[in-house]
């Protein structure tokens, strides 16, 4: 798998350090609030697992699964909910955990969908932000890293469901995804 990468842009150590910092920020911001952390499957699972261990507060966790990519490198713009929440979020403070914000189309849909359920608040935490690709405005409250417009994999991010288990984030060689 490592041979499929052009370069590593974020090491395991850099990610670990930043996740701990995000956990501290979230702990401070959500003191005395009823927090529900919602991971967007599958990409955010690795990040969310590490992040919630750094948040020193009681919390509920839940997951949503949405699709807009399939086996492509670009979002189709059509969002489909594959797995909805198992619990109610009414009057609770919701923190959406996502692996990457790219065009923002998927997250805009998720935020609007969750807001219709009457939570106390909805905020977004992402490991990676790619603002150069943004098609719609999305308010990212907690951002791990801002990255350039390159196709990245590792630490939960995939191409065709592969590479999620890499402990770092690397740029996939174009010949891998243009086959």
pTM: 0.92
Does the structure show a pLDDT above 90 at 69?
A: no
Cα(102)–Cα(36) distance, integer angstroms: 24
Cα(106)–Cα(136) distance, integer angstroms: 10
Domains of the chain, with CATH numbers?
2-177 (3.40.50.2020)
Specify the DSSP element, H or E, that contains 7.
Answer: strand 5-10
- What pLDDT shows up at residue 74? 58
Does the structure show a pLDDT above 90 at 142?
A: yes
Q: List strands edge to edge, sheet with 152-153.
A: 5-10, 169-172, 152-153
Alpha carbon dihedral 84, 87, 89, 92, in 10-degree steps, equals -140
Condensed to tens digits (0 to 9), the pLDDT of residues 32-64 reads 999 999 999 999 999 999 999 999 999 999 999
Enumerate the active-site residues: 102
């Amino acid at each position: 798998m490592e041979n499929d990468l052009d370069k590593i842009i974020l090491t395991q150590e850099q990610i670990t350090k930043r996740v701990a910092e995000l956990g501290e920020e979230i702990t401070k911001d959500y003191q005395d609030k009823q927090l529900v952390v919602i991971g967007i499957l599958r990409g955010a699972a690795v990040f969310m697992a590490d992040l919630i261990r750094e948040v020193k507060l009681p919390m509920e966790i839940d997951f949503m699964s949405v699709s807009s990519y399939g086996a492509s490198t670009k979002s189709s713009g059509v969002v489909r909910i594959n797995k909805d929440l198992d619990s109610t979020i009414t009057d609770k403070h919701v923190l959406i955990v996502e692996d990457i914000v790219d065009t923002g189309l998927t997250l805009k849909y998720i935020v609007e969908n969750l807001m219709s359920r009457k939570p106390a608040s909805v905020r977004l935490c992402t490991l990676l932000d790619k603002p150069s690709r943004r098609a719609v405005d999305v308010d990212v409250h907690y951002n791990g890293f801002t990255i350039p417009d390159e196709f990245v994999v590792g630490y939960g991010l995939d191409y065709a469901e592969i590479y999620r288990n890499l402990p770092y984030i690397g740029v996939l060689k174009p010949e891998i995804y243009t086959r």
